[in-house]
Amino acid sequence: QTRSLSPSPVPYPPALAPYHAAPSYKEEPAAYQYQYAVSDEYAGLNFGADEARDGYSTQGKYSVALPDGRIQTVNYDVADAYSGYVADVTYSGEPKYEPYHPAPAPYKPAPVYHAAPAPYKPAPVYRPAPVYHA
């Protein structure tokens, strides 16, 4: 008996997912204000920022403690979409620099002295003279 291999019936394709229009969001000009500050003497941190925005108009400032002890403050302003970023950078305090101390020379142990081996010189070998018996 021969058996015929016929393909099994194909099920109907799945129904397409219903179409949902993308949600629409009302576009409003950005309007926000924030500020923060960090002052940690133990870790040596001192910085902060604040900013206010209404549409394209943005004003703000930020400050940071520099390694030389001064405080750098940046006041910035963006008046509109065309004027660009205008910054005024100021420094307060006097720079303080530690006196220069060169790093100590790295430890380098003295070389261990090993005497050169004496050259090999074999000692002469003495053999008794042959004795002849008559």
Please state the domain extents for the chain. Answer: 31-92
Residue 36: which H helix or E strand, with range? strand 31-40
In sequence order, the β-bridge partners of residue 8 are none
pLDDT of residue 92: 94
Integer Cα distance of 57 and 75 in angstroms: 14
> What are the tokens at 55?
């549409």
**pLDDT score for 81:** 81
pLDDT of residue 126: 82
- pLDDT reported for residue 88: 97
Residue 13: both structure tokens together: 């394709």
Q: pLDDT 10s digit of each residue in the chain, 134 long? A: 556 666 676 677 778 888 888 888 888 888 999 999 999 989 888 899 999 999 889 999 999 999 888 999 999 999 888 888 999 999 999 999 889 999 998 888 888 888 888 888 888 888 888 888 87
Query: Quick one: pLDDT at residue 7?
Result: 67
- What is the distance between the terminal CA atoms of the chain, rounded to a whole angstrom? 120
All residues at 6 or more sequence positions from 84 whose CB lies less than 8 Å from its CB, including other chains: 78
Asked if residues 66 and 58 have their Cβ atoms less than 8 Å apart, the reply is no
pLDDT of residue 50: 97
Q: Given this model, what pLDDT does residue 94 score? A: 93
Confidence at residue 5, expressed as pLDDT on a 0 to 100 scale: 64
- The count of other CB atoms within 10 Å of the CB of residue 113 is 5
Torsion sign over Cα 21, 27, 33, 37: positive
Cβ burial 40-62 (10 Å sphere, 16+ → b, else e): eeeeeeeeeeeeebeeebbebbb
